[in-house]
Chain A
Amino acid sequence: MASLLKVEDLNVTVGQTELLHGIDLLIDQNETHVLMGPNGAGKSTLGSAIMGSPEYTVTNGRILFNGDDITHQTADKRAKKGIFLSFQTPVEIPGITMTEFLRNACEQVSGKRMKLWDFRKKLKATMQLLEMDEEYAERELNVGFSGGEKKKAEILQLLMLSPRLAILDETDSGLDVDAVRTVSKGIEEFRRTTGGSLLVITHNVKILDSLSVDKTHILVSGSIAENGGSELVADVLQNGFERFINKES
């Protein structure tokens, strides 16, 4: 059976600069992967490249999702296949309410029209789970949201869209303890109810407390320095990235 996500020997550039060099990554269904690495290692680049950001150019290798080559597909096609990216800095869209946006996105991703009533019911329940004030449903998407609210809104989208693979790009950064707990609860819910896989980009482990990690990847200077299991997270926690960086050089 094909892996859910297979990244093969991927090189990614922005302008003239190569940011990722020969990345290999394999994620199966119903797995939680963690991507760690020092600042500027290219973690977000990898996440965005898997999502299909036009900012990056793939110069070598390919990305397969469920056996399909998606290397040159646009982000909307990837989203429809079941890839989701929780943005590190979610974008503000003035004049469009959360409800309007989410309903549109749900219909695009599922390819089905959704009854307004059913949609609202699901939205309300999900917002309750994430301890979000109901009025956010009628607020303009991300406009004037605090950092924590923006991250919660990303998880709200994750739960509403139920992707097969969710890439969480530093969803925990800049959050207070309570917010991390709420966001973690949402991520757990996603894993529990959908069986979707996770690629968690983080250099903080609080968010991993409630997740059972299957694989860990260490990214240093645009290359995978080490692959391992959940023990690698503990290792990084204790010793930092020092040994991977030294290994690199």
Chain B
Amino acid sequence: MAEKIKVDDIDRSMYDFRYEDNVEDHLTTGISPEMIEEISKEKNDPDWMRELRLKCLDIYNKTRMVNWGPSIKELSVDEIVTYIRQKNRMKENWDEVPENIKETFERLGIPQAERESLAGVGAQYDSELVYHNVRKEVAESGVVYTDLESAMHDERYKDMIKSHFMKLVPPTDHKFAALHGAVWSGGSFVYVPKGVKLDIPLQSYFRLNAKGAGQFEHTLIILEEDSYLHFIEGCSAPKYYKAGLHAGCVELYVAKGAKLRYSTIENWSKNMYNLNTKRALVEENGSVEWVSGSFGSHVSYLYPMSILNGRGASAEFTGITFAGEGQELDTGTKIIHNAPDTSSYVNTKSISKSGGASTFRSAIVVKENAVGSRSSVNCESLMLDSISRSDTVPVMDIRTKHADVGHEARIGRISSDAVFYLMSRGLSEEEAKAMIVRGFADNVSKELPLEYAVEMNNLIGLEMNGSAG
């Protein structure tokens, strides 16, 4: 038996705790037009939103189930409580947040993180925002960071939201985009005015906590010309027995010369279906940088897409996926070069162990008009044992001769020589393997803010725990 030494401070239970919630008004399972009406009424939706929800439900019902990639047969959307409304309304003041929710967040380190360096927290507990606070200086710079529901009713933003909401990810995109459009609830709205460069990151922390609950948060971020924003989305969920579903949606609009960095660490519990859709539209000389860490969930389908829509636009995608026992994580990215001189750079790492399967999919599309564009895709996989799987599915669709596109893939196993070398210096087998994996993931953790890098390393330690013997 391997001893747990260095990883003492990583305790599985810290991710597995949960509190019994006291939500009285769980709505019926399954989805009917009445239910959508009810949600809409409860949310006090403007008419256009109510109509959009109903249209989305119609599309959902008419769209076929996803039949490629990992199996989602066991997922029964009808049985999942699609909407749970916390009794708690939005709270601006931490002191007013209910005690059990506060404790959950505290164990996740949110208030500390906020105190230290983060500008604002929009943390979602089940389907409603219960805590939302933007520091004064952020607000003073003109940056808007609020929940989507209230922004929809704000005179200043309502038109902006109407003209952007689900325009980048239309409900016809796929079945779960339609489902999202019908039942979405909670999420963030960020607006960064022209020329404003926010040097502190904004953070949101999503978490599922009700049995059988689905989570359908929507993130809408609009960056005006020459602005800068770093947005961090972190997810963690406690362990559950009933299948859970996450079908969120992220829409990012990056105007001319603006730069957006979007970082995520996802650690859903191992029974979750994570069918999330993320997309960015980048205009002339703008850039989007994705940093994406996928650790949790039973099944994931996650391929953030960047549409490079103006000359000189660029996208960078740095990702890490860690699939352990019982996990099938299908992740990657899609980049569409739709203007001249656009560039994209993709660098991903995937790790699989204890029978886990990780698949990396990339799709690089270079349109006819995207002359002078460049793209480089690099993916590396590490398998920690012989029962795990790792696949790479790169797709390239190049419509012009005047583009420079490269792809490199490497798949390897953990070297027993390296493990012995580290063990001869006093590291247990488990810790030696964890160190090798941490090193393998280093280029991703380097891209993360310190506290997230620490969390990611802890997650690696956690995942590696028990890998020995």
Q: Give A residues with C-beta under 8 Å from B.
A: 51-55, 74-76, 78-80, 84-85, 87, 90-96, 101, 104-105, 107-109, 140, 157, 161
The docked-state distance in angstroms from the alpha carbon of A87 to that of B431 is 20
The docked-state distance in angstroms from the alpha carbon of A78 to that of B424 is 8
Return chain A residues, CB-CB under 8 Å to B425.
79, 101, 105, 108-109, 157, 161
Return chain B residues, CB-CB under 8 Å to A87.
421, 424
Given the interface pairs A93-B439, A95-B439, A101-B435, the reply to whether A84 lies near B421 with Cβ below 8 Å is: no
Return chain B residues, CB-CB under 8 Å to A101.
422, 425, 435
- Whether the Cβ atoms of B426 and A91 lie closer than 8 Å is no
B interface residue count range (under 10 / 10 to 19 / 20 to 34 / 35 or more): 20 to 34
- Whether the Cβ atoms of B440 and A108 lie closer than 8 Å is no
Given the interface pairs A51-B424, A104-B427, A108-B6, the reply to whether A95 lies near B441 with Cβ below 8 Å is: yes
Return B176 CB to nearest CB of chain A, in Å. Answer: 35
The docked-state distance in angstroms from the alpha carbon of A94 to that of B418 is 10
The docked-state distance in angstroms from the alpha carbon of A87 to that of B423 is 12
Return B458 CB to nearest CB of chain A, in Å. Answer: 15
Central interface residue in A55, A79, A92, A95, by most chain B CB within 10 Å? A95
- Whether the Cβ atoms of B5 and A108 lie closer than 8 Å is yes
Return A58 CB to nearest CB of chain B, in Å. Answer: 15
Q: Per-residue CB proximity of B124-136 to A under 8 Å, as 1/0?
A: 0000000000000
- Whether the Cβ atoms of A95 and B428 lie closer than 8 Å is no
Q: Kindly state whether residue B71 has any CB partner on chain A within 8 Å.
A: no
The 7 closest A-B pairs by CB, nearest first: A95-B439, A95-B442, A108-B426, A75-B423, A105-B425, A109-B426, A79-B426
- Whether the Cβ atoms of B435 and A91 lie closer than 8 Å is no
Given contacts A75-B423, A85-B424, 12 further A-B contacts (CB under 8 A): A53-B420, A76-B424, A76-B427, A76-B428, A76-B429, A79-B426, A93-B422, A94-B442, A96-B439, A107-B6, A108-B5, A157-B425
Which residue on A lies nearest to B3, using beta carbons? A76
- Whether the Cβ atoms of B435 and A74 lie closer than 8 Å is no
Return chain A residues, CB-CB under 8 Å to B441.
95
Return chain B residues, CB-CB under 8 Å to A79.
423-426
- Whether the Cβ atoms of A108 and B438 lie closer than 8 Å is no
- Whether the Cβ atoms of A90 and B420 lie closer than 8 Å is no
Q: Kindly state whether residue B416 has any CB partner on chain A within 8 Å.
A: yes
- Whether the Cβ atoms of B427 and A91 lie closer than 8 Å is no
Return chain A residues, CB-CB under 8 Å to B423.
52, 74-76, 79
The docked-state distance in angstroms from the alpha carbon of A157 to that of B425 is 9
Q: Give B residues with C-beta under 8 Å from A.
A: 5-6, 415-418, 420-429, 431-432, 435-436, 438-443
Central interface residue in B423, B424, B440, by most chain A CB within 10 Å? B424
The docked-state distance in angstroms from the alpha carbon of A105 to that of B428 is 10
- Whether the Cβ atoms of B420 and A75 lie closer than 8 Å is yes
Return chain A residues, CB-CB under 8 Å to B416.
54-55
- Whether the Cβ atoms of A95 and B429 lie closer than 8 Å is no
Central interface residue in A55, A84, A92, A108, by most chain B CB within 10 Å? A108
Central interface residue in B5, B426, B441, B442, by most chain A CB within 10 Å? B426
- Whether the Cβ atoms of A93 and B429 lie closer than 8 Å is no
- Whether the Cβ atoms of A104 and B439 lie closer than 8 Å is no
Return chain B residues, CB-CB under 8 Å to A51.
424
Which residue on A lies nearest to B441, using beta carbons? A95
Return chain A residues, CB-CB under 8 Å to B418.
91-93
The docked-state distance in angstroms from the alpha carbon of A207 to that of B415 is 31
Central interface residue in A80, A92, A104, by most chain B CB within 10 Å? A104
Given the interface pairs A55-B420, A79-B423, A84-B424, the reply to whether A96 lies near B435 with Cβ below 8 Å is: yes
Return chain A residues, CB-CB under 8 Å to B432.
76
Return B461 CB to nearest CB of chain A, in Å. Answer: 12
Return chain B residues, CB-CB under 8 Å to A80.
426
Which residue on A lies nearest to B436, using beta carbons? A93
Return chain A residues, CB-CB under 8 Å to B420.
53-55, 75
Return chain B residues, CB-CB under 8 Å to A105.
422, 425-427
The docked-state distance in angstroms from the alpha carbon of A80 to that of B432 is 14
- Whether the Cβ atoms of A96 and B6 lie closer than 8 Å is no
| A–B complex contacts, Cβ < 8 Å, 13 sampled | A52-B423, A75-B423, A76-B428, A76-B429, A78-B424, A85-B424, A94-B440, A96-B436, A96-B442, A101-B425, A140-B439, A161-B425, A161-B426
The docked-state distance in angstroms from the alpha carbon of A108 to that of B435 is 13
Return chain B residues, CB-CB under 8 Å to A107.
6
Partner of A74, one of B6, B417, B429: B429
Return B10 CB to nearest CB of chain A, in Å. Answer: 15
Return B459 CB to nearest CB of chain A, in Å. Answer: 16
Partner of B424, one of A52, A92, A95: A52
The docked-state distance in angstroms from the alpha carbon of A16 to that of B300 is 45
Return chain B residues, CB-CB under 8 Å to A157.
425
Return chain A residues, CB-CB under 8 Å to B431.
104, 108
Return chain A residues, CB-CB under 8 Å to B438.
95-96
The docked-state distance in angstroms from the alpha carbon of A104 to that of B436 is 13
Central interface residue in A93, A94, A107, by most chain B CB within 10 Å? A93
Return chain A residues, CB-CB under 8 Å to B440.
94-95
Partner of B417, one of A78, A91, A140: A91
Return chain A residues, CB-CB under 8 Å to B427.
76, 104-105, 108
Return B172 CB to nearest CB of chain A, in Å. Answer: 42
Return chain B residues, CB-CB under 8 Å to A54.
416, 420
Given the interface pairs A91-B421, A93-B422, the reply to whether A104 lies near B435 with Cβ below 8 Å is: yes
Return B93 CB to nearest CB of chain A, in Å. Answer: 38
